[in-house]
Amino acid sequence: MPISPFEERYKTEMNAIFEDGNKLRRWMDVEIALAKVHAKMGNIPKDAAAKMAEGAKKVKAERVREIEEEIHHDLMAMVRALSEQSGDAGKYVHLGATSYDIEDTATALIFLDAINTLDGRLGSLCSVLRELAKKHKKTVCIGRTHGQHAVPTTYGMKFAIYYQELLRDRERLREAKKRIGVGKMSGAAGTMATFGAKGIEIQAAVMKELGLEPAKASNQVIQRDRHAEVLCDLALVAALLEKIAKEMRNLQRTEIGEASEPFGKKQVGSSTMPQKRNPHKCERVCSLARLVRANVQTAFENIALEHERDLTNSANERAIFGESFVCVDYMALEMTKILQGLEFFPENIERNLGLTHGLVMSERLMIALTDEAVMGKGKAIGRQEAHELVRELAQRAFNEKKYLKALVKEKKLLPDKELDVIFDPHTYIGCAEKIVEEAVRE
């Protein structure tokens, strides 16, 4: 039975990229690319790389594990297994290379595949957010700051903000491809001594063969700032997904009740409280975001290896790389489903707009008192005076549980026709519609 939930419960298409079988294939891809370059340079027989490529098709993961149990070195186990299947070309496998020439270069290929896969997933989420922003650009709701009712906004604004942030997250991941898509073929301490005077030429040719950039300078490993950057970018995606999930959870609170994640007809919310509709999918997204952020700390610890390298990064990278990518991919998949099935409760949205008996229109009232076009020439007052006047009225309305509009009417501060406009929250959303339209423009 699997120990990690990412092997079953949270499994996605991303798992295939990080499974041991694919890692083994990528290792052999690098070995074959090295052999091709050696052959072109006349260092080994011209047909050796082709024999290795045929041999790679016959290598079994079980045989590699069998060798590893004997020699306690996973990369060298692959080298021996590939050599066994490559006939007389087997003696040229891994010529001049060190383990992490192969492993780190293969990791770059794996990361690029993973970023491309995740970008496709995030593209689907982008489409959902964009459509929600367009659909709800006129859905007026109360805005909240510090957990308190502030001024009206729209649901379109919420989704447009998420959409724009996700675009930035995708851009960061694409940018990171330039720095993670780098390999090395530089030997035990990075000097390329085993390749002699042709070291730089060999490294460049191998990376060209694989579609990677050659590291300009490395020791025994590719420097871990590159990997840490990608995990940081994944954490930023996770943080956005958590942000959306947290907002949906709060909007689903019983006393708010404006929106809800989808709830199936046969779904059970609680083992003891039959009425419960818990936002457990959004809570799961928030929970997994913590794991992704924690992995970033480990990636930062891996940057400061001793001297030309040590192995303190190796064991944890077997976990944090695949785990972080699979986790974020699963979170994005879940959030896409949540938003596609999101339920809205218009009556509660309207109820909450009027919950404070007009107090949320205080800002608009204050601005109106300073406007000569509203008040009449010579009757408008200064901004600070208007602020204090409205503040006192708002406090009184709150304490006496009265409508602010009624108190303003008592004082005859403004004509009734102006008050009707001022206290209509649906007409106080500024440029929200245009903001949304511009934010989601293709």
Mean pLDDT of the chain: 94
Is residue 95 within 8 A of residue 196, CB to CB? The reply is no
| Dist. CA 231–CA 323, nearest whole Å | 10
Catalytic residue among 4, 124, 270, 287: 270
Tell me: the pLDDT tens digits for 297-313? 999 999 999 999 999 99
Q: Could you state, in order of their start, the residue ranges of all structural domains in the chain? A: 1-95, 359-422
- Give me the mean pLDDT over the 190-200 stretch: 94
Kindly tell me if the per-residue pLDDT of 277 is higher than 90: no
Q: 3-state SS string over 269-333?
A: CCCCCCCCCCCHHHHHHHHHHHHHHHHHHHHHHCCCCCCCCCCCCHHHHHHHHHHHHHHHHHHHH
> Residue 380's Cα: distance from chain center in Å?
50
| Residue pLDDT, tens place only, 314-352 | 999 999 999 999 999 999 999 999 999 999 999 999 999
pLDDT 10s digits, 58-77: 999 999 999 999 999 999 99
Residue 274's pLDDT band, with cuts at 50, 70 and 90, is confident
Distance from C-alpha of 333 to C-alpha of 236, rounded to nearest angstrom: 16
The highest-level CATH class for domain 359-422 is mainly alpha
Compute the average pLDDT of residues 213-239: 96
Report, in this order, helix, strand and coil percent for the chain, each rounded to 5: 65, 5, 30
Angle between the 20-40 and 199-210 helix axes, to the nearest 10 degrees?
130
pLDDT over 70 for what percent of the chain? Answer: 99
**pLDDT of 413:** 85
Q: Can you tell me the distance from the alpha carbon of 387 to that of 404, in angstroms, rounded to the nearest whole number? A: 14
Residues 381-413: tens digit of each pLDDT: 889 999 999 999 999 999 999 999 999 999 888
Distance of CA 374 to the CA centre of its chain: 48
> How far are the Cα atoms of 144, 349, 366 from residue 359, in angstroms, in the given order?
13, 16, 11
Catalytic residue among 72, 146, 271, 307: 146
- Two domains, one topology: 1-95 and 359-422: no
Is 146 noted as a catalytic residue in this protein? yes
Q: For domain 1-95, give the CATH number.
A: 1.10.275.10
Q: 140-145 and 213-214: which strand pairing?
A: unpaired
**What's the confidence (pLDDT) of residue 385?**
92
